[in-house]
Structure 1
Amino acid sequence: MRHGIVVVGAGGHAKVCVELLQAMGEKVAYCVGGVDSPDMCVGIPVLKGDAHLESLRQVGYSRLFVAIGSNSLRARLSAVATDQGYQLMNAISPHAVISPSARLGAGIAVMAGAIINAEAEIDDLAIINTGATVDHDCKIGKAAHIAPQTSLAGNVTIGALSFLGVGCKVIPGIQIGEQATVGAGGVVISNICDGATVVGVPARTIKQ
Structure 2
Amino acid sequence: MSGRQRVMVVGAGGHARVVESLLRYVPEVELAGFADRTRASLGERIGGAAVTTTWDELPAWRDAGVTAVALAIGDNAERARMFAAATAHGYRVLGLRHPTAFVERDAVVGEAAVICAGAILGAGCRLGANTLVNTGAIVDHECAIGDHAHLGPGCRLAGRVTVGALTFVGLGATVREGIRIGANVVVGMGSVVVADIPDDVVAYGVPSRVRAAPERPGA
TM range (shorter): over 0.9
**Corresponding residue for residue 26 of structure 2:** 24
TM-score (norm 1): 0.95
**Corresponding residue for residue 129 of structure 1:** 134
* Long gaps (5+) in structure 1: none
The CA distance in 1 between the partners of 2:40 and 2:120, in whole Å, is 35
TM-score (norm 2): 0.90
**Corresponding residue for residue 147 of structure 1:** 152
1:65-144 paired onto structure 2 within 5 Å: 65-144=70-149
Q: CA offset at residue 134 of structure 1?
A: 0.5
Q: Which runs of 4+ in 1 moved over 3 A?
A: none
The CA distance in 2 between the partners of 1:48 and 1:5, in whole Å, is 13
Q: CA offset at residue 27 of structure 1?
A: 2.5
Specify the code of the residue in structure 2 equivalent to 1:82: T
1:66-95, CA deviations, whole angstroms, 9 ceiling, x for partnerless residues? Answer: 111110000001111111101111121011
Percent of aligned positions that are identical: 38
* Long gaps (5+) in structure 2: 214-219
The CA distance in 2 between the partners of 1:37 and 1:102, in whole Å, is 39
Q: CA offset at residue 44 of structure 1?
A: 1.2
**Corresponding residue for residue 35 of structure 1:** 39
Specify the code of the residue in structure 2 equivalent to 1:52: E
The CA distance in 2 between the partners of 1:157 and 1:51, in whole Å, is 34
Specify the code of the residue in structure 2 equivalent to 1:10: A
**Corresponding residue for residue 216 of structure 2:** none
Q: CA RMSD in A?
A: 1.5
Paired residues of 1:168 and 1:184 also in contact (CA < 8 A): yes
Pick the aligned partner of 2:62 from 48, 57, 60. 57
The CA distance in 2 between the partners of 1:37 and 1:138, in whole Å, is 39
Q: CA offset at residue 58 of structure 1?
A: 4.1
Pick the aligned partner of 2:15 from 13, 23, 41. 13
The CA distance in 2 between the partners of 1:58 and 1:48, in whole Å, is 12
Specify the code of the residue in structure 2 equivalent to 1:161: L
